[in-house]
Structure 1
Amino acid sequence: MRIVVDTREQRPFPFAKYEATVERAALPTADYSLPGFEDRVGIERKELGDLVGCLMGANRERFEKELRRLSAYDLKAVVIEASMRDVADGLYRSEMKPHAVLQSVLAFQVRYAVPFLWCGDRSGAEYTTFWLLAKYAREIEERMKALTKAQAKANAPPPSRAELTTA
């Protein structure tokens, strides 16, 4: 599988454990996508400190614009390299209270219909990103097969009388 990684992504997943090749390109939004679906598939990666930073001040407005764009995508998610317990324990550098962090994340999920996935750590976030993209690619492949089959059936000549009686 080919995975597109945004050129601005500073610590891209290598996907070394997976059957994937990584291509760097400027994505309209998010950090990871699939070739040909850059405007329909977007996975945003966040380390915990980065997530908390996106919830405050001018960064919040920029992040909400990104979530607004993602909300129109077929596949969208924010994968977080941390757990909710990490937030509750305040394992980040900010004055923002854990309750405020979690409330903002929940509000964004409701407002923008973009899931935030607490993946525990970087490895879990990489796993989640790969398999979300793989499942989407598989769904598209199955839809294409069904469409091709339906189109072939629609364009095929009607069965002959002999074919009908021997079937």
Structure 2
Amino acid sequence: MKKQTISFDMSVYDSIDELSKTDKDLMLKAVGARSNAYAPYSSFLVGAAVLLENGEIVVGNNQENAAYPSGLCAERVAIYQAAAIYPNVKMVSVAISATSKNYKVLEPAAPCGNCRQSMIEYEQKQKEPLALMLMGEVGKVLKCNSISDILPLAFSNSFL
């Protein structure tokens, strides 16, 4: 037996103001998308924004449902919408921001497993990294260079 370590580098910014103009604009779109989230059960509002290679930005937000599994996270709403509208355009980066009606979200909220798998599908399809930025309501921003950073040993179509 041998042990192996999986690790990745991540940039940590103290605030949105430290981001490049492109990244800041994308994160602000994600922040704006939070306000249209439909979250009557959790009161946890998430916005996502996807920057495409053609410069377009597509947004999404979480959509809850009384039958919980029927809802959809902001990341998947944005990614699927981008793929539906621009099926042959590569995705460059995704920004995600979360807040709550019940408390201040001070730490970046990471995507759930379903969203990680959905995002890695498009990263694998385009054969280029899809950067990821995460932010709570305010405060620090985490930036990963690739979805594969947060989903090592990902399932892919190579197994099918």
Q: TM-score, normalised by structure 1?
A: 0.27
Answer 1 or 2: which has greater helix percent: 1
Q: TM-score, normalised by structure 2?
A: 0.28
Answer 1 or 2: which has greater strand percent: 2
> Which structure ranks higher in relative contact order (CA pairs < 8 Å, sequence separation ≥ 6)?
2
Structure number with greater Rg is: 1
